[in-house]
Structure 1
Amino acid sequence: MMKIKYGFALLIVMLVVTVSCKKDDDDGPAPIPPRDRGEEAIRAQAEIEAFLETHFYNYEDFDADPNNFKIKFDTIAGENASKTPLIEQVTSKVVNDIFDTDVDYKLYLLKVREGGGERPHFSDYTTTTYDGRLMNLDLFDSSVIPIKLNLVNGKSAQEVGVIRGLQQALIEFKGAVGEPITNPDGTLSFEDFGIGAVFIPSGLGYFQSSRGDLDAYGQLIFSFQLFASEVADHDGDGIPSYMEDLNNNQYLFDDDTDGNGLPNYLDNDDDGDGRLTKFEIEIIDGEIFFPDTNGNGTPDYLDDTI
């Protein structure tokens, strides 16, 4: 059973990963067009696979100490020449590019421990700690205190959330079993929580944007601990946000039934008929039902004729 203590109250803050944008002056230099996303996907996969073939993680520490929770990476060389390379320990999933749906990525995941609790949906909140590193293993971002992440992924600074690569990794893990335990000394304990890492191609990260220590078109590594998740209903309309993904692409900003510029997951009147969505659905014993009063195949909350 995996357990960890924190000697402070659990800090819950919202982390919004955004990229600031500034309009170029009319007389300034012309912006450089972004690279082809398909070509970058190929280059990114090759770079990540080269890293996986030449690096390992501290799997022996996890074998020796069941309470260990910190992933460390190093090069396979010298006294580490016999270590098992990451390429033999990772799994992968195919993730589509929301900017160019003709492009798919192979997202590599290191599942050290899946976790024994609930698995988050792609639009949920998660309580997480993490390290963000460049491919040379330099640290560019970190939180040793559990923070609350909004997993909704967007295309711009106005569309809040984490980068798609991290979002798509976290939903493959589970949080801790049960609620956090408050110990007599005021610390918190989590049992059997998820722990892993993801190797993110730039197309599922920041792509052409450079920020701080991040270079444009750079691949990223996030290692993380997933303690808990919370089903999100961002607009409070009674429908969990993950259920407002009508086209099932795990991107919520292109689901806008009434075309008012506000995606359904942020719109408490999805069909724009003047009647709030929460009054056009039924919730019985925690189960959601979607009435179709006129029997036309469109539920009332998406039908502006009702």
Structure 2
Amino acid sequence: MMKLNKLFILMLLVSISIISCKKDDASTIEPIPVRDRGEQAIADDEALRAYLQTHFYNEEDFQNPAEGFDYRIKLDSIAGSNSEKTPLIDSDLLSTKMITRDDVEYTIYILKIREGFGAHPTFADSTFQNYKGELLDQVSFDNTANPVWFDHPGTLSQTNPGIVVALTETLVEFGGASSFTLNDDNTVNFTDDFGVGAVFLPSGLGYFNLSQGAIPSYSPLIFSFQLYKVNEADHDQDGIPSYLEDLDNDRIVVNDDSDGDNIPDYLDVDDDGDGTLTKDEITVNEDGTVSFPDINGNGIPNYLDEDEFENVNENQ
């Protein structure tokens, strides 16, 4: 028993020593320096182009859809029995779009398999869609089994807006289904003309140097989707569609705050903070368009002018 006790004590001391060494080692690990965004954009674009040159999508499935086809895009590498497939880079359905963020111009690659016959969303609307997110090594990190509503401004983070901006700037190029029917069990059937596509985007419009679950840092990303329905959003119900509350025209509404109350205008029922609701300072016309009266003629519409009654008589 004495020997066992001594052995236990010895093992305990060794364990403590190992744990202490690990803590000391961990404390000396240097954080990975943040890479230059411009240089990373170039590297990511090279990776994306290499992927597009060596991968294809299930084109035949879309050309001759079987009964019950789910219109999901499947990507695979050109090799073996697939060696004769057409690379994505050579597809007539692939286009590019430029997006500038953090003073860097990024290229995203958009595969428009079917544009869709319904309404197109704006950058501030909500979309009803399926989507799949995957890495260039074809590892999936997100996948919807059933369609979900995607509120573009509501999912936008001011600290990392890129990933939503890239998806949003892709979806504005697509339309939803032209119509739908509501079944007795409250499920919905959409007409077979909804938008189908994918976007290939650099890490600078993704998580950049941050790792998120299965997504390593500096990872270009792929999102494929089926767009079923679009809802023009007026998030604060003030009568002004949310996309019109982008006052600086950067196509992001979370950073527009006219009265500085830390509530962006698209969520603020009193944009200028003068105590009068925005909906009472605008005019919604019979055709649904919105007019913005300027009672004192100073070039600032009433709903953004906290002193709209100042010098009214002088300017009339």
Is the partner of 1:145 in helix, strand or coil? coil
Which ranges of structure 1 fall in alignment gaps of 5 or more residues?
1-26
Tell which deviates more after alignment, 235-244 or 63-72.
63-72
Q: Which of 281, 287, 301 is the matching residue for 2:303?
A: 301
SS in structure 2 opposite 1:115?
A: coil
SS of residue in 2 equivalent to 1:144: coil
Equivalent residue, structure 2, for 1:95: 99
Residue 261 of structure 1 is matched in structure 2 by 262
How far residue 188 of structure 1 moved from its aligned partner, in angstroms, is: 2.7
Aligned to 2:55: 55
SS of equivalent to 1:301 = helix
Q: Report if the CA contact (8 A) 1:149-1:162 is conserved.
A: no
Identical counterparts, % of pairs: 49
Q: Which residue of 2 aligns with 1:13?
A: none
- Residue 86 of structure 1 and its aligned partner are, at CA, apart by 0.3
Asked if the contact 1:154–1:251 (Cα under 8 Å) also holds between the matched residues in 2, the reply is no
State the partner residue of 1:39.
Answer: 39
CA gap of 1:232–1:30, structure 2 versus 1, over 3 A, is farther
8 A contact 1:245–1:251 mirrored in 2: yes
Question: How many Å apart are 1:127 and its aligned residue?
Answer: 0.3
CA contact (8 A) 1:163 1:206 kept: no
- Higher mean alpha-carbon deviation, 229-238 vs 141-150, is at 229-238
d(CA) in 2 for partners of 1:265, 1:87? 39
Partner Cα separation in structure 2 for residue 193 and residue 66 of structure 1: 17
Q: 1:84 aligns with which of 80, 83, 86?
A: 86
- Larger RCO, structures 1/2 (Cα 8 Å, 6+ apart): 1
Mapping of residues 134-283 of structure 1, within 5 Å? 134-152=135-153, 153-156=156-159, 163-178=164-179, 180-183=180-183, 187-191=187-191, 192-283=193-284
Using a 3 Å threshold, how does the CA distance of structure 1 residues 186 and 199 change in structure 2: closer, same or farther? same
Cα separation, partners in 2 of 1:169 and 1:28, compared to 1, 3 Å: farther
Query: Which stretch of structure 1 is more off in the superposition, 64-73 or 77-86?
Result: 64-73
TM-score for the superposition, normalised by structure 2: 0.82
CA distance in 1, matches of 2:258, 2:149: 29
3-state SS in 2 of match to 1:254 = coil
Tell me the CA shift for residue 34 of structure 1: 2.4
The secondary structure found in structure 2 opposite 1:110 is strand
Following TM superposition, by how much is the alpha carbon of 1:155 offset from its aligned partner in structure 2, in angstroms? Answer: 2.3
Quote the Cα distance in structure 1 between the aligned partners of 2:78 and 2:245: 45
Q: Is the 8 A contact 2:163 2:205 kept in 1?
A: no
Identify if the C-alpha distance between structure 1 residues 261 and 186 changes in structure 2 by more than 3 Å, giving closer, same or farther.
closer
What TM-score, normalized by structure 1, do the two folds share?
Answer: 0.84
Of stretches 147-156 and 131-140 in structure 1, the one that deviates more from structure 2 is 147-156
SS at match of 2:133: strand
In structure 1, C-alpha distance between the alignment counterparts of 2:234 and 2:28, rounded to whole Å: 43
Aligned to 1:4: none
Shift of 1:162: 6.2
Are residues 146 and 297 of structure 1, via their aligned partners in 2, closer, same or farther at CA, if it must alter by over 3 Å?
Answer: same
The letter for the 1-side match of 2:292 is F
- Give the letter for the 1:280 counterpart: E
Q: Deviations over 1:110-138 (max 9, x none)?
A: 00100000000111111010111111111
In structure 2, C-alpha distance between the alignment counterparts of 1:290 and 1:238, rounded to whole Å? 11
For 1:142 and 1:46, the matched residues in 2 are separated by 26
Structure 1 distance, partners of 2:183, 2:265, is 41
Output the CA distance in 1 between the equivalents of 2:256 and 2:242. Answer: 11
CA deviation map 1:28-70 (0-9, x unaligned): 9785542211111111111001000000001011111176301
1:105 alignment partner, SS class: strand
- Does residue 64 (structure 1) correspond to residue 68 (structure 2)? The answer is no
Is the radius of gyration larger for structure 1 or structure 2? Answer: 2
Shift of 1:82: 1.5
1:165 Cα deviation (Å)? 1.6
| CA-atom RMSD in angstroms | 2.1
CA separation of 1:189 and 1:78: change in aligned 2, threshold 3 A:
same
Deviates more, 1:214-223 or 1:148-157: 148-157
CA drift of 1:241 comes to 0.8
Confirm or deny: 8 A CA contact 1:151 1:162 kept in the other structure: no
